[in-house]
Amino acid sequence: MSGNSYIGAIDQGTTGTRFMVFDHDGTVVTDAYETHEQFYPEPGWVEHDPLEIWENTKSVVRAALDDADLSAEQLAAIGVTNQRETTLLWDRDTGKPVHNAIVWQDRRTTDRVEQLESEGKVEEIRAKTGLEADAYFSATKAEWLLDNADPIKTQRARPADMKERAAEGELLFGTIDSWLIYNLTGNHVTDVTNASRTMLFDIHEMEWDDDLLREFDVPAACLPEVRPSSDEDYYGTTDPDGFLGAEIPVAGALGDQQAALFGQTCFDAGNAKNTYGTGSFFLMNTGNEAVDSDHGLLTTVGFQRSGEPVQYALEGSIFVTGAAIEWLEDMTLIEDAAESEALARSVDSTDGVYVVPAFTGLGAPHWDQRARGTIVGMTRGTRREHVVRATLESIAYQTRDVAEAMVADSGIEMESLRVDGGAVKNNFLCQLQADIIGTEIARPEVDETTALGSAYAAGLAVGYWDDPDELRDNWRVDREFEPDMNRAEADRMYDRWSDAVERATDWARDGGDS
């Protein structure tokens, strides 16, 4: 079914939206990208404008197709991948959001999570969802929106109660995948991976959980239908009278990190990948078994194909990695991300400096919502080169934090780690990563594996590819990095990192954010 046809992938991320078109070999044919605005209404709050995201989505789809002189009719299907946990509510009839989307990085519901902890509800939440109780996930964001978003005027010209309208199905809850699919097809659906990140979904029963819905006072009527990640029945088709001017199946969706797992063809238990984006997300496929973590990891849904059992994964979510490089730019320590590699190489070490980029708290395996960014070990001789190198090293150390937890939980020693995302273009970082965790690092030719994974999911659903073996044949290595550092030296550096992390923890207690 290939020939002159292709698969399109909408990759809606934290900082921007990309549309990519792939051929049967998994090669990029064309792509386009646009950033969107980040809103910070208060310290620790992060929001996006859903309408801007939708307008940018239409823009990049048109731009990519025009650039390659392709028509929409040449797309056999479209897949969607998205920044996970980012949450919004919109009006079913008008399609208008009632408030900006609350981004996964947002910490405004930290007090609510601490209330759950004090009430002893954390274990129940973890048992059902595989997640730590944290402001990172969608449940407390949805609760906040229902309690605090501006009321919508009804035809009766009175302020409507948000929860009342949600209970009647007039307001719809969703993560960004649902928002895009709704605008593409008119249908209110999500896939199993995104549902599993809401803290409202039982990953063992594979359904919305009534107890959790009651806890967070989220009406069932506002929730999307949960479908496989690769859906032979399709989520719907694009409107032939809409912006594409064609009826194209929308048939695949995965949260961005599960999409990268799929795009890296980690289809078997024990396969692992790490994506270096705004944050870093380390996932290991555990097969049809949902492995409980005793070491601060998340148990999550990896993916599901139509008519097949769910594949689960262990995940280590690191909140800030690529965003730490952006911080270096914001602080004018570097002019652009590419400069970080040369500056890091210009010194032999950090001269004892450690950067803990806990700008939005610490994720796995620490789960400290009140940790904050910290620089330790500076002297009068500290220069920007040392701080830049220490920031890159922090990415490698955080990955080792998760890698050690992953091995402890799974009992599987990793011989190779597949990596992707913007930061892996940095050869210094890739080599450092191999040295610090003592494992081979494999970088694929196509490093935009989130888009590739959603394209694979959609393509399998419509028969563009026959089976996963075809996709495995597409996976091609660009470069491999072997550990080169003395093991004792790597351990010494990592031990000192642990000391630095201890100094960053619990900093924002008692009004420390104000």
Residue-wise pLDDT for 231-245, tens only, equals: 999 999 999 999 999
**Annotated binding residue 422:** yes
Q: Is 11 annotated as a binding residue?
A: no
* Residue 275 near residue 281 (C-beta atoms within 8 A): yes
**151-to-89, 155, 164, 165, 438 alpha-carbon distances in Å:** 12, 13, 11, 10, 54
pLDDT of residue 297: 92
Q: Is 242 exposed, middle or buried (0-12, 13-18, 19+ CB in 10 A)?
A: middle
- Confirm or deny that 158 is annotated as ligand binding: no
| Whole-angstrom distance, CA of residue 175 vs CA of residue 141 | 11
Calpha distance 311→330 (Å, rounded): 40
193 is in an annotated binding site: no
What local confidence, expressed as pLDDT, does residue 508 receive?
82
| Residue 322 marked ligand-binding | yes
Residue 498, Cβ neighbours under 10 Å: how many?
11
Residue 3 labeled ligand binder: no
Burial class (CB in 10 A: 0-12, 13-18, 19+), 24: middle
- Ligand-binding annotation for 332, yes or no, is no
Task: Report the number of secondary-structure helices (H) and strands (E) in the chain.
Answer: 16, 23
Residue 31, beta-bridge partner list: 20
Q: Write down the pTM of the prediction.
A: 0.84
85 is in an annotated binding site: yes
- The pLDDT score that the predictor gives to residue 462 is 96
Q: Is residue 463 a known part of a binding site?
A: no
Could you say which residues of the chain have pLDDT below 70? 1-3, 150-160, 510-514
Contact 198, 139 (CB under 8 A): yes
Contact (CB, 8 A) for 290 and 245 = no
Q: Is 255 annotated as a binding residue?
A: no
Q: What pLDDT sits at residue 413?
A: 79
For residue 209, the number of C-alpha atoms closer than 13 Å in the C-beta half-sphere is: 24
In 3-state terms, what secondary structure has residue 28? strand
What pLDDT does residue 445 have?
Answer: 85
pLDDT at site 476? 86
15 marked among binding-site residues: yes
257 is in an annotated binding site: yes
Tens digits of per-residue pLDDT, 296-343? 898 999 999 999 999 999 999 898 998 899 999 999 999 988 899 999
pLDDT at 156: 39
On whether the CB atoms of residues 197 and 424 are closer than 8 A, the answer is no
Please tell me the predicted confidence (pLDDT) of residue 161: 83
